[in-house]
Amino acid sequence: MTKREIIRMVLDGRKPPYVPWSCGFTKEAREKLQPYFAEVDLEVALQNHLLKLGSDVGFFTNLGNNRLQDVFGVVWDRSIDKDIGNVEGCMLSEPTLEHYTFPDPLDQRFFADIPKRIAKYGDRFRVFQIGFSLYERAWTLRGMQNLLMDFYDHPRFVQELFQTIADYNIAQLKEALKYDIDAVYFGDDWGQQHGLQMGPKLWRKFIYPVLERMYRAVHEGGRYIFIHSCGDVDELFDDLIAIGVNCFNPFQPEVMDVPTLLRKYRGRLIFHGGLSTQKILPYGTLEDVRAETLRLLEMGRAGGYIFAPAHDVEGDVSHENMLAFIELIQGQPGYCDN
Amino acid sequence: MSIIDDLRQSVIDGDMNIAQELVQRTLTENMPPEQILKDGLISAMAEVGRRFECGEFFVPEMLISARAMKSGLALLRPYLTATNVHAVGKVVIGTMQGDLHDIGKNLVGMMLEGAGFEVVDLGVDVSPDKYVVAIKEHRPDLVACSALITTTMPYMKNVILSLKDAGLRDRVKVIIGGAPVTEKYAADIGADGYAPDAASAALCAKELILKKG
């Protein structure tokens, strides 16, 4: 069976022959890991089951001095966080879109390498990524504290901003659906270590209706929906299922009860993630990593689960700990690298 | 309801304009500035913290309440100075070296201010040396350290070691917090306090100040 078929089995509620995986690594972690795979490119060596298409964080113009500008005009400082960076300044300093023009959602850079990558990794399950897909895009433009206060101070502006972001995303994902892809993988962090940043009341009032509209566009195209949202957000799972989400990531064990939720939602929502990146990977021993990986693989054997570290592995994780979980997932009975 | 109750409620509701108006009225009515601060502003922020802890308030509500409190405090401050009313303590706060995340640290700063502390915010990406310089300059009672990611959390230990090296460790209490930080980690590195969120950080700071005497 191909990796694509295995993921489909999991999404359709069937028991797979082994637990599939799709693991991410930050730039620093990739640099640490690459030497252990000799000449083989990490993307090949990892044998991830998801083929990520489009771009999760978008495209950038290098302004020099570790500063990059995204297609929305937002400047990111990557002097410390080399993968995404931190927003510099505030694009929408006032609560209005009057003087701001959204970028072209059909920018060819988002689609250019799709045919080539599908040709190269045709056996993998293809996901088109839309990162910063709503709330995060809004705060990168408006500033997080401003946006959080705008929920009360300028609710109409927040609604207009969210709907305009959704229009942009829908135009982009409709273009992506013209390719032979399987799912759209949205990313939007709503959580904190405890609870939602904006709370469930504001989430349901402002975010839920816009998600419903974006997700409907994916379902109308007959594709699956994945959502990545960091933090303690499991109180939203029933709402997300109601609007058609098929898979949730990152399934952080520090903020949610992974085994209980996997059992509770099996057949309704699948999970991608689960391996502790806040504790076990950076601070655990080799044995801790092996034990936790085996525990997750055992839990996922019945289905409903795609293994992964609960965040792109950071550079503070030893290469031994990275290799330990990679070896176990690739050594599962039933899996053969084809 | 009394005018002070109305002021307290306006801060809880996050209504900056009403809060400012009511602070003006209390001053016009010659209410003691210390009473306006304690029964109006600090009491309101304690209730905001309680609601945050029990999941009734979230970050937006905390932000607009803190903004209302700060706007009232700005009007009140000259009167507090004139009547010799001092802050309950001084805190130097910052996000660890290598970490540019600031919203958690800002919320802690706001709640500390709302609890009557004077807050010196060093911003983000603060090195242990910067802490040492700031402590010498501002002579705080407390040092607060924030980290969102596992890669920057170890710098908290470096801050404590730098304070020891500079002979400042006995002068200040150190509290730490942030997503990957745990009570055990705080104990392991020799911090004096740990708080899982902004509201409990303010409570923790108050307790440490009481202990410090």
Instruction: List A residues 55-74 in contact with B (Cβ-Cβ < 8 A).
Output: none
Range of the domain at B132: 89-212
**B46, B61, B82 — which closes off a domain?**
B82
B43 shares its domain with B112 = no
| pLDDT tens sequence across B129-142 | 999 999 999 999 99
- How many structural domains is chain B composed of? 2
Give pLDDT, residue B180: 87
- The DSSP-derived string for A176-204 is HTTSS--EEEEE---B-SSSBSSHHHHII
pTM of the predicted structure, to 2 decimals = 0.91
Whether residue A196 lies within 8 A of chain B, CB to CB, comes out as yes
* Contacts B151 to A, Cβ<8 Å: 282, 314-316
Half-sphere exposure of A198 (CA within 13 A, CB side): 25
pLDDT value at position A336?
A: 82
* Claim to verify: residue B191 and residue B97 sit in the same structural domain: yes
For residue B135, give how far its alpha carbon lies from the nearest alpha carbon of chain A (Å): 25
Q: What is the ipTM of this complex?
A: 0.91
Distance CA A276, CA A29 (A): 15
Domain boundary among B48, B63, B82: B82
What's the pLDDT at A86? 86
Q: Is B51 left (phi over 0), alpha (psi -120 to 50) or beta?
A: alpha
Residues of chain B predicted below pLDDT 70: 213
Could you identify the residue written with the tokens 């993630």?
A273
Both B70 and B111 in one domain: the answer is no
What is the CATH number for B108? 3.40.50.280
Position B150 scores a pLDDT of 85
Chain B hits for A318, CB-CB cut-off 8 Å, are none
B103 and B52 belong to one structural domain: no
Are B101 and B61 members of one domain? no
CA distances from A134 to A8, A46, A95, A138, A168 (A): 27, 30, 16, 6, 10
B115 and B194 both lie in a single domain: yes
Helix (H) or strand (E) holding B144: strand B142-146
All residues of chain B having their beta carbon less than 8 Å from the beta carbon of residue A145 are: 63, 103, 106
Q: Could you give phi then psi for residue A70, rounded to 5 degrees?
A: -85, 180
Domain of residue B52, CATH code: 1.10.1240.10
> What CATH number matches the domain at A3-57+98-330, 3.40.190.10, 3.20.20.210, 1.10.520.10, 3.50.50.60?
3.20.20.210
Residues B74 and B114 in one domain: no
> pLDDT tens for residues A164-222?
999 999 999 999 999 999 999 999 999 988 899 999 999 999 999 999 999 999 999 99
Reading chain A (338 residues) residue by residue, the pLDDT tens digits are 999 999 999 999 999 999 999 999 999 999 999 999 877 889 999 999 999 999 888 899 999 999 999 999 999 998 877 888 889 999 999 999 999 999 999 999 999 999 999 999 999 999 999 999 999 999 999 999 999 999 999 999 999 999 999 999 999 999 999 999 999 999 999 998 889 999 999 999 999 999 999 999 999 999 999 999 999 999 999 999 999 999 999 999 999 999 999 999 999 999 999 999 999 999 999 999 999 999 999 999 999 999 999 999 999 999 999 999 999 999 999 998 65
Q: Are residues B184 and B108 in the same domain?
A: yes
Say if the Cβ atoms of B151 and A77 lie within 8 Å: no
Q: Are residues B112 and B202 in the same domain?
A: yes
Examine the fold and report which residue of B18, B52, B82 is the final residue of a domain before the chain moves on: B82
- Asked whether residue B56 falls in the same domain as residue B19, the answer is yes
